[in-house]
Amino acid sequence: MNRDRIRALLEQVKSGEIESEDALEALARLPFSDIEDARVDTHRALRAGIPEVIYAPGKTPEQIVDIVAVLRGAQQDVLVTRVESDVASRVLGAASGGAYDALGRTLWFGPAEVPIVGRGRIAVISAGTADLPVATEAASVARRLGNEIDLLTDVGVAGIHRLLAEGDLLRSARVLIVVAGMEGALPSVVGGMVDKPVIAVPTSVGYGAAFGGIAALLGMLTSCASNVTVVNIDNGFGAAYVATLINRL
């Protein structure tokens, strides 16, 4: 199904030729829609009950605009991640109704206030100022996917009293996302303070032996806390996605 097909379908809805319900059905039945460069899977949202998410790097603003159009045409909410500000400007210029979070680099097409469907709170904790973009991406995505969020920043392990002072907040979360660069020790300490799943996100913050996030990644994989799992370097989105799935259980 190419764009012409969708356009025709939407025109038919507009002109009353077919009922919205029938159009919806038609769209829902599509295994995937062919557009020029990417098969957009309009089923995933139906399957997983969450908005479609688009990873921006490697796509041109035009490609993003096209994909957004198809999905919005199918009445879906859309979240675009890793959108640099110049790309965001160009997409927002061509696709109406989007909201851009510059720090978390996400672009959102959907209701301003997403209803809460998660059963508990997700805590997002980060160590340093430089980890904020990734922590913000995680928090922003988790919020758009229908979760209540607690964001706690600048609580590194070298000033352990800052972290301990927030023990109640940590223990009240149903799932925790811990974002850290450099030596990535924060998830181990947080993991020892709670008995809930902790999703660790290494960041590429640091220099020298940080090796673009390898030190943090290895530190998190070898954490002495048993309740820690790990996602890819800088993958705030992935952490928020899994936390969302867990929080809906």
- Binding to a second copy (CB under 8 A) within 98-157 occurs at 119-120, 127-130, 132, 153-157
- 53 vs 123, which CB is nearer to a second copy? 53
Q: Does 223 bind a second copy (CB under 8 A)?
A: yes
Strands 39-40 vs 33-34: parallel, antiparallel or unpaired: antiparallel
Stretch that binds a second copy, among 20-28, 71-79, 106-114, 215-223 (CB under 8 A): 215-223
Q: Does 195 bind a second copy (CB under 8 A)?
A: yes
Q: Does 210 bind a second copy (CB under 8 A)?
A: yes
Residue ranges in 53-92 that form contacts with a second copy under rule CB under 8 A = 53, 57-59, 63
CB of 187 to a second copy, least distance (A): 9
C-alpha–C-alpha distance, residues 42 and 26, integer Å? 11
Who contacts 204 (Cβ-Cβ below 8 Å, separation ≥6)? 181, 210, 212, 213, 233, 234
Question: What beta strand segments (E) does the chain contain?
Answer: 33-34, 39-40, 52-55, 78-81, 98-101, 106-109, 121-126, 148-152, 175-180, 198-202, 228-230
> Which of 149, 153, 120 is closest to 135 using CA atoms?
153
The one among 174, 178, 179, 236 contacting a second copy by CB under 8 A: 174
Q: Does 47 bind a second copy (CB under 8 A)?
A: yes
Q: Does 158 bind a second copy (CB under 8 A)?
A: yes
CB of 12 to a second copy, least distance (A): 26
